[in-house]
Amino acid sequence: MKAKLFTPVASQNPLYMGCADEILFEEILREHGRSTAAEIKEDGYRMQVHKQGGRIRAYTRSMKPFLLELYPELHPSLNALPDCILDTELIGDDKIGHEGFDIVKKRFRHRIGSKGAQDYLDSGIVDEMPLAARVFDTLYWEGKSMIDMPLSERRKITSEILEDKLTPSTQRIITEPEELRQWFDELTGANYEGLVCKNSQSAYLPGKQTKDWVKLKRSETLDLVVLGVYMVNGEISQILCGPYNPQTHKFETLAKVNAKRNAFNKELYPALRHHLDVQCPESIAVSQAIYTKPDTKPDYFVAPENSVVVEVAAMNFNYSKNWHSCGLKEGKSYSLRIAWLKSIRDDKKPADASITS
């Protein structure tokens, strides 16, 4: 496959293999040939930049156009680039963790009219909440597709991109599990989300999740699709959510989560209100146990293709007898222990949700 300018490339996404521990650190190094390119995992929105001459376009993870006119602080840095396709993360300038993510979320717009765009720019939000972009991969550079080249070769280009608002991700080549653990602990202690460990010899694999890219995070964090809602006094109180199983082509229930935290239910209801159904869609796999207790079956189901992706964190996974359908076998399935809703990922679509492996 060759990367082509102004044809968005499906994003390669890191694989989540479980909670960061010594066993996982060792497995990553083994999979990557005893040397891994570990880089800081930025907390923002994926942005793929395409530039040719004076023409610049950007695309979201869902391969939809980014409204670059809303981010004038990026323009000088983008204009300085040669012809290229860059895989970047839009982040809060000088902000890390969820503080930075919240800034990106407040700045992001799916669509906006010309008057709305002008009002947005006149509001002072650009100065109050400045953004930057972190480059972590180069897919095309000065007339040459680089997708099939090893990451180590692509990184040589990426590391030379040093513009005011466009800089390379921080990366270290690590060969020992203890070194990986130390850096991970240092970063998470400083409120970074974690690391992405990459195989330096790997090509860029559009739309894939493989062990070539593995993410290490502080907590068990998943991007799940809202599959059902529980109502109290006309408001969403809790949500039923789960990942996608590519083998069965169905979404599976994994967690019932409080939606009132940080008033997330107020954001969810407008997005879901026209897609609520008392019948369970065929695209959702449910355990029959969901119907045995009054507080397990949701008041309404939501067809996954019309639903919303949410970021859910938990202490860890449980595999036991319960009423969920994720990995269901002989009455046992996966569930999340002490799960909470972290954010609504309006930059992702249901197809980008975590998968059941």
53-83 pLDDT, tens digit per residue, is: 999 999 999 999 999 999 999 999 999 999 9
Which residues constitute the domain of residue 292? 221-352
Residues 238 and 89 in one domain: no
Distance between CA atoms of 164 and 135, rounded to whole angstroms? 12
pLDDT of 99 higher than 90: no
The reply to whether 3 falls in a domain is: no
Q: How confident is the model at residue 21 (pLDDT cuts 50, 70, 90)?
A: confident
φ, ψ of residue 194 to 5 degrees: the values are 155, -150
Q: What is the pLDDT of residue 97?
A: 80
What is the DSSP pairing of strand 166-168 with strand 131-141?
A: parallel
Residues 298 and 211 in one domain: no
Residues 226 and 344 in one domain: yes
Residues 21 and 86 in one domain: no
Residues 52 and 152 in one domain: yes
Q: What is the pLDDT of residue 17?
A: 83
Residues 84 and 232 in one domain: no
Residues 282 and 234 in one domain: yes
- Among candidate residues 2, 41, 211, 260, the one labeled active-site is 41
The reply to whether 1 falls in a domain is: no
Residues 58 and 96 in one domain: yes
The reply to whether 4 falls in a domain is: no
The reply to whether 285 falls in a domain is: yes
The reply to whether 320 falls in a domain is: yes
Q: Spell out a b/e string for 341-356, using b for 16 or more CB atoms within 10 Å of the CB, else e.
A: bbbbbbbbbbebbbbb
Residue 332 belongs to domain with CATH number? 2.40.50.140
> Could you report how far apart the first and last alpha carbons of the chain are, in Å?
26
219-230 pLDDT, tens digit per residue, is: 778 999 999 999
Q: What is the pLDDT of residue 315?
A: 67
299-356 pLDDT, tens digit per residue, is: 999 999 999 999 998 867 888 899 999 999 988 999 998 799 999 999 999 999 999 8
The reply to whether 244 falls in a domain is: yes
Residues 325 and 346 in one domain: yes
Q: How confident is the model at residue 218 (pLDDT cuts 50, 70, 90)?
A: confident
229-273 pLDDT, tens digit per residue, is: 999 999 999 999 999 999 999 999 999 999 998 899 999 999 999
Is residue 14 exposed (0-12), middle (13-18) or buried (19+ Cβ within 10 Å)?
buried
Residues 227 and 346 in one domain: yes
Residues 247 and 130 in one domain: no
Residues 90 and 136 in one domain: yes
* Residue with the larger pLDDT of the pair 17 and 142: 142
The reply to whether 271 falls in a domain is: yes
Q: Is 41 a catalytic residue?
A: yes
Contact 184, 176 (CB under 8 A): no
Tally the domains of the chain: 3
Residue that finishes a domain, picked among 168, 195, 229: 168
What is the DSSP pairing of strand 144-145 with strand 309-314?
A: unpaired
Positions of E strands within 199-279:
213-217, 220-232, 235-242, 244-245, 250-252, 255-258, 276-277
The reply to whether 230 falls in a domain is: yes
Structure tokens at 356: 């059941």
Residue 51 belongs to domain with CATH number? 3.30.470.30
